[in-house]
Structure 1
């Protein structure tokens, strides 16, 4: 596969000559081929070490109600109670007491760009392995973000909703869920900018950073954005937090050990900040310093990637996995690499068994990383211009 780079970002991409670190090995099959679009990881490691995955979508983009558990000790997948409604482009959040909140999303068969989201939410209890309905959000939404706050509440921000029979709108609204009461409270003020498909990061000071994201600009068309903002739970207020150097959607944002945030990749087709043109996914990265609320260019990855996953390892290094190129969306990458924030270098890992994007990923109790499902090929990459979705799973071991 080809690698696309824009050499106008002010630094050079990571060198590819370093020896590979870590290996990938197959880890069995999901009950069915599934993928998880959006910025969320799609998988959560529970207190007992098992990994929960719930919802998602299949080749025809129909929402799923299936929930499964992975047992690292036996390397086996087993079903658990299904969601009360099928969900895709929803969020899963592990609560402070170990339960899991599933909120919003799209439900049922694929309904095109005008399909409305759902406002319902439900909670999974690992002790009973069952889901219980909880209070509904004030606004139905999908492709939103969900962040566990320091006080145990959950912030839901942005997302998409129908604008007309042929288009969608991004939302500025946000609301907070209280697990103690099961109730939702709309934040005192909305976000400064409408956004969807964005990552959200809890910072060390208890505030939440939302960098970039997308907004609809026409029927089935979406533009990335560079605008960033921070939510302060103590003030119940949103404040602008500078701009990314490049507009980005389908990117990842990760809190590093030193309290800074690293943003990797994403779609950014079009003119760059120096007026050069780049039609491909970004290989560039950026780092946010909460102390100064400023963004600065960081070291480039070996390749541009969108719809990838980023997992912070116990060593403090960052594993960036798979993805695809937004110019074609036709093949998933087997490529993965590790970033060392102290040395500020990228090192390739061994290749994944199967290339994929829009997949689930979670760190296990022993420090290994599990990836599951995802899109393998799409569009011109397959004879019928459809999607090839995998049920394959695999481990990364450093």
Structure 2
């Protein structure tokens, strides 16, 4: 009889403890600090649900613009040029764009070397080199002079906003494993400048080597390499897309037609605008479609093309085939199904072709260098203030006397120029930064 009473008392206490423990597990406030309640109705093992934090398949959307943080606000104007880290090797007729990580991506171009070293990435050919990252396929180095068009570089830091780096088995760019790149031959080099470290690093090479190409960055951080010229100066409609987070290149939607000397920029509407002497092509990343419109009345080829803070697209300078143009036009995108339109704005003080430019953190546009109508390389910086529709002379420097270079605004708010050619036409490896 006494044993039966004890058993009932123990069973009753066990029921109370079990009920209290269940309540604690369901109520985080009842747990020890730092502990987490177990989820109800969700398995703790197996494939995570689409809403689980463990999901690693981000989907592009119209809200992806948040991936690109705004530049730091600087009242401006930017007045002081300083040297930046040199490129590993001289390159000209490159494309430049700023990634959502604040780094500057310099794509393609052409290069010349003196002697037998590899070019493009500026990394000497090393037939026996082994990638430091684990590749998806074991690369086999062949110590011969036979070019290989397939890059074997594998990024060592593919995650997130990490600096894309590559350890090649041969020279990055030009698709060579030794010897010099032929003068004027397009290269497949991609290099990334980090303003915080003042240093360049290699990224996976372009699938298609080309020069005179254009580049733009989508709001989700992907880098578009657009058009340009392949071997023999042949215009191409090729578009290739680089994803910094994975280190992968993929084939993008081809241009409506081949463009040998395009200019490109992203508008405040998230669309990518590509312009040559006769056609404006507009790419909508949300739909994946291209539409076309007319070029500015000037018909100048290879103008500086930048987005303005008010949503317009500025096209300035370029070449009409016989002289450098001083014309400048602003494109106002249409709304809905309506077409956009070009309107004349103030002329450049000095007409320039093969110049490069970028919109600074102060909203002004900085057009740097180029060649005048006599074909001479200039070192001027011409500054456009959209609110007042006026140009003014900016800081000049021997650092800016170049043409065929790339320009972009870094995440630190400074405008950078890199590469290009000197007055003699020789490719440059120098870079410079314009700040306050």
Measure, in 1, the Cα distance between the counterparts of 2:221 and 2:99.
17
Structure 2 equivalent of residue 143 of structure 1: 212
Structure 2 equivalent of residue 209 of structure 1: 273
The correspondence for 1:308, drawn from 345, 352, 355, is: 355
**Deviation by residue 1:211-264 (Cα, 9 ceiling, x = unmatched):** 11xxxxxxxxxxxx2211111222222111222212233321111100111011
> Is the partner of 2:423 in helix, strand or coil?
strand
Contact 1:306 1:324 in 2 (8 A): yes
> Is the partner of 1:268 in helix, strand or coil?
coil
Q: Would you say how many aligned residue pairs link Structure 1 and Structure 2? A: 313
Measure, in 1, the Cα distance between the counterparts of 2:243 and 2:104.
24
Structure 2 equivalent of residue 152 of structure 1: 221
Where in structure 2 are the equivalents of 1:252-271 lying within 5 Å? 252-269=304-321
Measure, in 2, the Cα distance between the counterparts of 1:232 and 1:54.
22
**Deviation by residue 1:56-77 (Cα, 9 ceiling, x = unmatched):** 665659843238xxxxxxxxxx
Matched, 1:339 2:339: no
Structure 2 equivalent of residue 171 of structure 1: 236
Structure 2 equivalent of residue 357 of structure 1: 403
Where in structure 2 are the equivalents of 1:63-142 lying within 5 Å? 63-66=119-122, 97=161, 99-100=163-164, 106-108=174-176, 109-111=180-182, 118=188, 131=202, 133=204, 137=207, 141-142=210-211
**Deviation by residue 1:46-104 (Cα, 9 ceiling, x = unmatched):** 95x8878788665659843238xxxxxxxxxxxxx9xx9999xxxxxx997254599x9
> Is the partner of 2:263 in helix, strand or coil?
coil
5+ residue gaps, structure 1, are 1-20, 68-80, 88-93, 213-224, 270-278, 379-386
Measure, in 2, the Cα distance between the counterparts of 1:53 and 1:86.
22
Measure, in 2, the Cα distance between the counterparts of 1:41 and 1:29.
16
TM-score, length-scaled by structure 2: 0.58
Larger strand percent: 1
> Quick check: which has more Rg, 1 or 2?
2
The correspondence for 1:296, drawn from 326, 332, 343, is: 343
Larger helix percent: 2
Measure, in 2, the Cα distance between the counterparts of 1:130 and 1:178.
16
Measure, in 1, the Cα distance between the counterparts of 2:330 and 2:217.
22
Residues 193 and 337 (structure 1), Cα distance of their counterparts in 2 relative to 1, 3 Å cut: same
Structure 1 equivalent of residue 323 of structure 2: 280
Measure, in 1, the Cα distance between the counterparts of 2:215 and 2:89.
25
Where in structure 2 are the equivalents of 1:232-251 lying within 5 Å? 232-251=284-303
Higher relative contact order (CA 8 A, sep 6+): 1
5+ residue gaps, structure 2, are 1-76, 124-131, 133-140, 142-146, 150-157, 167-171
Contact 1:56 1:63 in 2 (8 A): no
Contact 1:24 1:353 in 2 (8 A): no
Structure 1 equivalent of residue 40 of structure 2: none
Measure, in 1, the Cα distance between the counterparts of 2:347 and 2:202.
42
Residues 57 and 158 (structure 1), Cα distance of their counterparts in 2 relative to 1, 3 Å cut: closer
Residues 249 and 311 (structure 1), Cα distance of their counterparts in 2 relative to 1, 3 Å cut: same
Contact 2:421 2:428 in 1 (8 A): yes
Where in structure 2 are the equivalents of 1:175-214 lying within 5 Å? 175-179=240-244, 184-187=249-252, 190-212=254-276
Task: Please tell me the root mean square deviation across aligned C-alpha atoms, in Å.
Answer: 4.4
How far apart are residue 171 of structure 1 and its match?
1.6
Residues 25 and 65 (structure 1), Cα distance of their counterparts in 2 relative to 1, 3 Å cut: same
How far apart are residue 340 of structure 1 and its match?
0.6
Residues 357 and 260 (structure 1), Cα distance of their counterparts in 2 relative to 1, 3 Å cut: same
Contact 2:91 2:420 in 1 (8 A): yes
